[in-house]
Amino acid sequence: MFEDQSSKIYETLVDKVNNLFVKKPLVSTVAISVVVSLAVLFISMDYRKGEAKVEISQDNLVATVAELGSIEIKVDLSGAVKKPGVYTVDAKARLIDLLVLGGGFVSDVSSLWVSKNLNLSQSLADGEKIYIPFEWDIDGVGEGEADLKPLSLGIVKDTKQEDLVAGALKIMGVSNVPVESSSSAVSSISTQNKINANTAPTSDLDLLPGIGPAYAGRIVENRPYASFEEFKTKSGLSANLADSLKDLLSF
């Protein structure tokens, strides 16, 4: 289409020059050169405009947008998960999607840490590393316990959100998921008599917030305890975890 229009314009210019050549031969010789140059330039510019229109067509824009919508990223998942490794996920994926790919948590995951620090709705970034700590990563850390929290993971502070996290953990294979600040978990114990750390069976100790089967077994193994201070040093629990049980235990 562009070539046909340019050709017609060129022919019109040549006709006018020919008429001029008949009347004024000397002037027309110069005019022919100028007109031909202008015609070639016009055709070239017109053709380039046509090419530019083709390059930014709607089809090309749609293809570009579709291409951007399928971006994938790589994230390193390690620690207390069943299938650690580097996973390729959609850029819009959330942390819970990554954990599902990783098979969920192993039985000795630090449930207390997870319930306090893990934000399952968090977005992921390319090249990010996420480490889920084991129980022994947290045990004995004391005041530095928070240092194990990856910078990318948000702290869950709302009680209802923590209960949702606990439910998600159960779905992923962790049968006993205590949530320290959960009102239901604490009230079920506080409304009853305190649990005797020296005589209670493992099944009762297991009900304490932050205490799973492994910690309950450790408490039983290190008995007896004459006082809370002795319990704090002998039980094998971190100082922070032991302090959280102070009002729930008797000796």
Q: Would you say 180 and 165 are in contact if contact means Cβ atoms under 8 Å apart?
A: no
Supply the pTM of this predicted model.
Answer: 0.36
Beta bridge partners of 134: 109
Tokens at 196, concatenated: 């005797």
Average pLDDT of the residues in 161-187: 49
Question: In terms of CATH architecture, what is 182-251?
Answer: Orthogonal Bundle (1.10)
> Which helix H or strand E contains 19, and what residues bound it?
helix 2-23
For residues 84 and 102, is the Cβ–Cβ distance under 8 A?
yes
* 59-63 mean pLDDT: 56
Confidence of residue 210 (pLDDT cuts 50, 70, 90): confident
- State the first-to-last Cα distance of the chain, in angstroms, to the nearest integer: 96
DSSP state of 198: T
Is 167 a residue whose pLDDT tops 60? no
Proportion of the chain above pLDDT 90, given as a percent:
25
- Which amino acid type is present at position 190? S
| Of the candidate ranges 11-25, 28-42, 169-183, 219-233, the one whose mean pLDDT is the lowest | 169-183
**CA 21 – CA 38 distance, rounded (Å):** 18
Quick check: 223 pLDDT over 70?
yes
**What is the pLDDT at residue 143?**
38
Phi first, then psi, for residue 141 (nearest 5°) are -75, -30
Position 87 confidence tier, pLDDT thresholds 50, 70, 90: very high
> pLDDT value at position 135?
85
DSSP for residue 73:
E
pLDDT in tens, 6-45: 566 556 655 655 555 555 454 445 555 555 555 555 555 5
Residue 126 clears pLDDT 50, i.e. is over it: yes
- Alpha-carbon span 104 to 127, nearest angstrom: 21
**For all residues of the chain together, what is the average pLDDT?**
70
Long-range contacts of 196-204 (CB under 8 A, 24+ apart): 196/249, 196/250, 196/251, 197/223, 197/225, 197/231, 197/235, 197/249, 197/250, 197/251, 198/223, 198/224, 198/225, 198/251
**pLDDT-wise least confident of 95-104, 132-141, 152-161, 234-243:** 152-161
> What 3-state class would DSSP assign to 245?
coil
Q: How many other CB atoms are found less than 10 A from the CB of residue 145? A: 22
- pLDDT score, position 40: 54
* CB 89, CB 101: distance < 8 Å: yes
Q: How far apart are CA 224 and CA 208, in angstroms?
A: 18
